[in-house]
């Protein structure tokens, strides 16, 4: 059971081989056999740190950094920067570890001098942390009198620090049996043991199955992953967040609660609990059970369970399925916590609209996206204590993000707060009235459809059987995307953030004929043909797409800016001409495996008619052998980049080393 901390707050065989080497770039990858689940210690509900320099990292790394801020382990290098690529120094590590030690429930010493004579130039807080770290026996310094605070923490030192911290926190350390690393034999027996234990715990892996690279510096973004995994090893939970109870309703017979564990459904068995509180008040298990309901939060520490009742009066109706008598709601503070709630079969129920009790039919005639719902009473209502669905009519207002999905007259709305509201539809139920306006003037549904495109703003509501939609028409917003993912014109995919979006010639134009011509095509700033667009298109290019909008006489426009696909030279195999590239794209760092001497299916690169493969090193023409030598040098010395682009009908690979 996790512990709750109540103080401040973790090709073929050749291609597979290359992938293993690439993964080592992260220096913190965890094999499946040793993976540590950090979702309890660092749930997705951890608030953003506000750092503006971590956006290029994957979601797991960003969450780890945000998690350290929430726990109070780091404050960043400024209010808005974390400086993820800087190396971690020993004095910084002392601050991180002592702060985290408190989160593990450890009591720090008084910080009296431990004999280090080289820390006097640091502020009082840093000196205190260094001395307290020594008192915890997590460090012994570099000698009896020196700590060498400005030295960078290497990977072997990090392994020692974190296994000692885990041990001090009461974690049973694994055996430390050899994990296959062949480059740690020159280290002390204790350091070798720590490296093997860190691997077994799932805190850190090597650069490959046989290489740990113990003398490599630990970077700040890697440190964030190391530390949050150490929190998870000890089962530390953040204060103030808890876990959200999700459907199904708590199983009171078997004492089981289903909760949202970082987006994954998990269960906890509270049988045998010795301490229960409800909203901070000590209670019996019976009172605890009586208050359990979907949407509430629960935190558990060993055999102690703390329940926080959450009133979902601010729950926003997110998606309505009248045919199935269900809807989804989201809390004002975060993700959907109630999915497909059936307002007719949840035991004995009552319905209210604006505080007045109504029939089910009247309730349904008012229900639409943008309303708020308060659900009170037990999960399964009784005659004496019914479950009440209280609806307050609201209006879904925001920007249209998708049109005619999945059927005609469908659209989605993105609110100012960022929530995307399910599917809204103008095909109103029989007996309902429809009121439509565009720019303040009443229009027919046909003209409303014609005016509706992505980027328009809209307000949409349904109350007492009247569906009202008011559209403010605007020229469609352009969609900009990096990293072309796949293309077979007239349809092709691009990556926008983390989502793959398919574009097509008649995209978002209601009533348009499939396969209709593009309104305008621009390649590198010049109007061009579709054939030339196809010839120029390659991964890494930047696409801007604007849909057509008849109401504003806006034609569709497809714009291409040629750009190279580039990343760090990670590994290569000269036998199969297989190259690994660690890249940063629109959705963050990505690993790619490509073959640089052949047409490659992964990157969708194809030679044009009469085209050839060309190689350059630092922009200068080179042979394939010279290119390979440069890649090898870059990988061996952890410097340099590799890029590929389509130049005319040729494919050009370039290696740059520094």
* Cβ–Cβ < 8 Å for 638, 26: no
pTM, rounded to two decimals:
0.42
| Helix locations, 46-123, DSSP H | 59-70, 90-103
Distance CA 644, CA 57 (A): 22
Give Cα 274 to chain centroid, integer Å.
Answer: 36
- Per-residue confidence at 281, pLDDT binned at 50, 70, 90? confident
- Please give the Cα distance from 506 to 515 (Å, whole number): 7
- Please determine, for residue 589, whether its predicted confidence score (pLDDT) is greater than 70: no
| DSSP secondary structure string for all residues of 9-53 | ----HHHHHHHHHHHGGGS----GGG----TTTS-TTSPP---SS
The Cα 228–Cα 220 span in angstroms is 12
The dihedral sign for the CA sequence 234, 236, 242, 244: negative
Q: Could you read off the pLDDT of 95-145 as tens digits, one per residue?
A: 999 999 988 888 899 999 999 999 999 999 999 999 999 999 999 899 999
Q: What is the pLDDT of residue 9?
A: 24
Asked whether 112 and 127 are in contact (CB, 8 A), the reply is no
With a pLDDT cut of 90, the percent of the chain lying above it is 28
CA 218/CA 68 separation, integer angstroms: 16
Q: What is the mean pLDDT of residues 583-591?
A: 42
Measured distance between the N- and C-terminal CA atoms of the chain, rounded to whole angstroms: 50
Mean pLDDT over 292-300 rounds to 77
Segment 434-461, tens digit of pLDDT: 999 999 999 998 888 878 877 789 999 9
Alpha-carbon separation of residue 540 from 137, 210, 387, 595, 631 (angstroms)? 50, 33, 54, 16, 20
Least confident of 375-389, 482-496, 643-657: 482-496
Region 355-376 average pLDDT: 89
- The yes-or-no verdict on residue 510 having pLDDT over 50 is no
C-alpha to C-alpha distance for 135 and 133, rounded to whole angstroms: 5
**Residues 83/53, Cβ–Cβ less than 8 Å:** yes
| Count of CB atoms situated within 10 Å of the CB of 631 | 26
CA distance 35 to 205: 10
213-222: average pLDDT? 92
Which carries the bigger pLDDT value, residue 412 or residue 309? 412
pLDDT at residue 607 above 80? no
Sign of CA pseudo-dihedral 572, 573, 579, 582: negative
| Residue 485 in this model has a pLDDT that exceeds 60 | no
Distance, in Å, from the CA atom of 42 to the CA atom of 642, rounded to the nearest integer, reads 35
Which pLDDT does position 95 carry in this prediction? 95
Share of the chain above pLDDT 70, in %: 73
Given a cut of 60, whether residue 47 has pLDDT beyond it is: yes
Give the pLDDT confidence of 164-217 residue by residue, as tens digits.
999 998 888 999 999 999 999 999 999 999 999 999 999 988 888 888 889 999
Residue 103: what pLDDT? Answer: 85
- Please state, in angstroms and rounded to a whole number, the distance separating the CA atoms of residues 204 and 196: 9
pLDDT at 637 over 50: yes
Q: Which residue has the higher pLDDT, 607 or 489?
A: 607
d(CA 462, CA 468) in angstroms, rounded, equals 6
pLDDT of residue 331: 63
Per-residue confidence (pLDDT) for residue 518, from 0 to 100: 61
Q: Is the pLDDT of residue 657 over 70?
A: yes
φ and ψ of 517, to 5 deg? -65, 155
Does the structure show a pLDDT above 50 at 530? yes
pLDDT score recorded for residue 334: 52
Instruction: Please state, rounded to an integer, the average pLDDT across all residues of the chain.
Output: 77
Tokens standing for residue 326: 């269900």
In this structure, what is the dihedral angle of CA atoms 329, 332, 334, 335, given to the nearest 10 degrees?
10
**Confidence grade of residue 399 (pLDDT, cut at 50, 70, 90):** confident
Q: Taking residues 601-611, what's their average pLDDT? A: 66
Confidence at residue 432, expressed as pLDDT on a 0 to 100 scale: 81
Q: Give me the pLDDT at residue 577, please.
A: 58
> What three-state secondary structure class fits 268?
strand
116 vs 540: which has the higher pLDDT: 116
CB-based contacts of 123: which residues, under 8 Å, 6+ apart? Answer: none
Q: Write down the pLDDT at residue 498.
A: 43
Give the pLDDT score at 301.
61
The pLDDT score that the predictor gives to residue 6 is 30
Joined tokens for residue 523: 């390649």
> What is the structure's pLDDT at 17?
33
Between 418 and 577, the more confident residue is 418
Q: What is the mean pLDDT of residues 408-424?
A: 81
Quote the CA–CA distance of 34 and 36 in Å, as a whole number. Answer: 6
């Amino acid at each position: 059971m996790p512990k709750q901390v109540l103080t401040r707050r973790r090709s073929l065989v050749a291609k597979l081989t290359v992938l293993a080497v690439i993964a080592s770039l992260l220096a913190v990858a965890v094999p499946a056999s040793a993976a540590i689940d950090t979702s309890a210690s660092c749930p997705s509900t951890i608030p953003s740190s506000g750092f503006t320099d971590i956006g290029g990292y994957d979601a797991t790394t960003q969450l780890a950094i945000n998690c350290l801020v929430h726990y109070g382990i780091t404050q960043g290098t400024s209010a808005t920067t974390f400086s993820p690529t800087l190396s971690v120094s020993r004095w910084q590590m002392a601050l991180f570890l002592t702060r985290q030690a408190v989160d593990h429930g450890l009591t720090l010493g008084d910080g009296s001098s431990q004999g280090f004579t080289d820390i006097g130039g640091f502020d009082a807080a840093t000196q205190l942390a260094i001395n307290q770290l020594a008192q915890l026996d997590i460090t012994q310094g570099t000698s009896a009198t020196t700590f060498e605070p400005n030295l960078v923490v290497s990977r072997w030192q990090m392994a020692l620090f974190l296994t000692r911290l885990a041990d001090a926190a009461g974690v049973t350390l694994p055996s430390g049996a050899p994990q296959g690393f062949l480059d740690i034999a020159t280290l002390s027996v204790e350091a070798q043991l720590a490296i093997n234990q860190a691997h077994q715990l799932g805190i850190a892996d090597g650069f490959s199955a046989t290489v740990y690279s113990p003398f490599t510096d630990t970077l700040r973004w890697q440190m964030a992953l190391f530390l949050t995994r150490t929190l998870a090893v000890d089962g530390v939970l953040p204060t103030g967040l808890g876990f959200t109870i999700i459907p199904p309703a708590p199983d009171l017979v078997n004492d089981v609660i289903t909760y949202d564990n970082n987006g994954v459904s998990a269960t906890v068995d509270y049988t045998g609990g010795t301490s229960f509180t409800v909203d901070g008040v000590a209670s019996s298990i019976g009172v605890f059970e009586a208050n359990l309901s979907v949407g509430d939060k629960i935190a558990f520490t060993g055999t102690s369970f703390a329940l926080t009742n959450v009133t979902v009066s601010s729950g926003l109706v997110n998606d309505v399925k009248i045919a199935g008598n269900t809807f989804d709601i989201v809390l004002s503070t975060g993700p959907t916590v109630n999915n497909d709630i059936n307002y007719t079969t949840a035991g004995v129920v009552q319905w209210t609209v604006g505080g007045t009790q109504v029939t089910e039919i009247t309730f349904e005639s008012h229900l639409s996206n943008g309303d708020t719902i308060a659900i009170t009473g037990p999960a399964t209502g009784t005659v004496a204590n019914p479950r009440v669905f209280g609806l307050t009519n609201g209006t879904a207002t925001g920007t249209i993000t998708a049109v005619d999905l999945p059927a005609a007259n469908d659209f989605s709305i993105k609110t100012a707060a960022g929530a995307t509201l399910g599917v809204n539809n103008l095909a109103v139920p029989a007996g309902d009235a429809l009121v439509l306006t565009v720019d303040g003037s009443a229009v027919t549904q046909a003209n409303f459809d014609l005016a509706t495109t992505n980027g328009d703003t809209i307000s949409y509501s349904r109350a007492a059987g009247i569906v009202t939609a008011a559209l403010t028409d605007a020229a469609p917003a352009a969609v900009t995307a990096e990293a072309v993912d796949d293309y077979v014109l007239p349809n092709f995919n691009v990556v926008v953030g983390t989502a793959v979006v398919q574009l097509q010639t008649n995209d978002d134009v209601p009533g348009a004929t499939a396969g209709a011509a593009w309104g305008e095509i621009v390649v590198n700033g010049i109007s061009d043909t579709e054939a030339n667009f196809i010839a120029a298109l390659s991964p890494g290019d930047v696409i801007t797409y604007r849909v057509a909008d008849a109401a504003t006489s806006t034609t569709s426009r497809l714009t291409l800016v040629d750009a190279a696909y580039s990343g760090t030279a990670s590994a290569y195999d000269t036998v199969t001409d297989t190259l690994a590239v660690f890249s940063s794209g629109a959705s963050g760092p990505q690993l790619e495996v490509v073959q640089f001497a052949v047409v490659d299916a992964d990157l969708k690169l194809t030679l044009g008619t009469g085209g050839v493969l060309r190689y350059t090193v630092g922009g200068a023409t080179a042979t394939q052998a010279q290119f390979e030598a440069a890649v090898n040098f870059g990988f061996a010395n952890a410097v340099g980049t590799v890029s590929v682009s389509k130049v005319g009908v040729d494919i050009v690979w370039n290696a740059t080393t520094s």
